[in-house]
């Protein structure tokens, strides 16, 4: 099958990779060990040129496959794309014949790794529980480290000392209060037209999110925002 590469021409793969989507690419060049000191301490261009000309330097390529059955991710690496595909294929063959024995290692979110092959997937229940309904969840946690499921994420308290990253992503403060009120009113009308009555919860990080009784919809573009107002004012 044809496999698209991160740059350059498509690669005609050796194996058929049924029910998998695949991609490949080059991860760059690996220089001999002593090259770094030459590059950083001497003439960088000369150091690089020498390193690349050396027999010890090589290009690396990767081949990635995303099988649907079992749903997982496989990555093979090698000096060229053929080698990388071969490594990925061998991993895949192991995965489909292995009697997996899954373990969590350091993860608490339900993600597991097979002890015998490279299979990894979401196979367990999360070890962390929603602080409201006690259901196992790894959906989101607040600044105190308490966990919330999707349904209860709207009751999560705001961090009184938000980090710069949080401030940047919290668009809520940038929205004029009047506009927010109008949007919430329109959202309420939209929910009610679909037979959902209750308190509207609003959340605006990268996009706007309206939630009522566990049902939700998103607004990603200004155009959608204006449409909502036009239709449900
Ligand atoms: Zn396995
Ligand atoms: Zn919950």
pLDDT in tens, 63-92: 999 998 888 899 999 989 999 999 999 999
Question: pTM for this structure?
Answer: 0.58
Residue 91 confidence (pLDDT): 96
Find the 157 Cα to ligand 2 centroid distance in Å: 14
Residue 37 confidence (pLDDT): 73
Strand partners, 60: 28
Find the 142 Cα to ligand 2 centroid distance in Å: 13
How many CB atoms are closer than 10 A to CB 49? Answer: 13
Pair of tokens at residue 101: 């024995």
Find the 27 Cα to ligand 1 centroid distance in Å: 27
The radius of gyration of the chain from alpha carbons, rounded to an integer in Å, stands at 25
Angle CA(51)–CA(56)–CA(60) in degrees, nearest 5? 90
How far, rounded to the nearest angstrom, does the alpha carbon of residue 223 sit from its chain's CA centroid?
A: 27
Residue 16 confidence (pLDDT): 95
Question: In the chain, which stretches have pLDDT less than 70?
Answer: 27-30, 36, 39, 58
Q: Which ligand is nearest to the CA of 92?
A: 1
Find the 147 Cα to ligand 2 centroid distance in Å: 8
Find the 217 Cα to ligand 2 centroid distance in Å: 19
Residue 146 confidence (pLDDT): 96
Find the 129 Cα to ligand 2 centroid distance in Å: 8
Find the 201 Cα to ligand 2 centroid distance in Å: 15
């Amino acid at each position: 099958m044809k496999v698209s590469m991160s740059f350059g021409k498509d690669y005609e793969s050796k194996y058929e990779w049924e029910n998998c989507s695949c991609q490949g690419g080059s991860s760059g060049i690996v220089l001999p060990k002593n090259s770094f000191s030459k590059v950083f301490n001497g003439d960088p261009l000369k150091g690089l040129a020498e390193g690349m000309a050396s027999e010890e330097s090589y290009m690396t390529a990767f081949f990635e496959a995303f099988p649907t059955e079992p749903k997982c991710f496989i990555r093979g690496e090698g000096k060229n794309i053929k080698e990388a595909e071969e490594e990925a294929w061998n991993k895949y063959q192991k995965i489909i014949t292995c009697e997996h024995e899954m373990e969590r290692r350091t993860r608490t979110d339900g993600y597991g790794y097979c002890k015998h092959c490279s299979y990894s997937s979401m196979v367990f229940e999360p070890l962390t529980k929603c602080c409201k309904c006690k259901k196992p969840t790894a959906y989101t946690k607040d600044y105190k480290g308490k966990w919330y499921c999707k349904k209860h994420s709207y009751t999560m308290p705001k961090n009184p000392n938000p980090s710069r990253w949080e401030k940047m992503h919290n668009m809520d403060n940038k929205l004029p209060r009047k506009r927010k009120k109008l949007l919430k009113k329109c959202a309420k009308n939209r929910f009610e037209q679909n037979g959902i009555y209750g308190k509207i919860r609003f959340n605006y990080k990268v996009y706007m999110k309206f939630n009522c009784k566990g049902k939700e919809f998103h607004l990603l573009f200004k155009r959608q925002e204006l449409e909502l107002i036009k239709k449900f004012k």
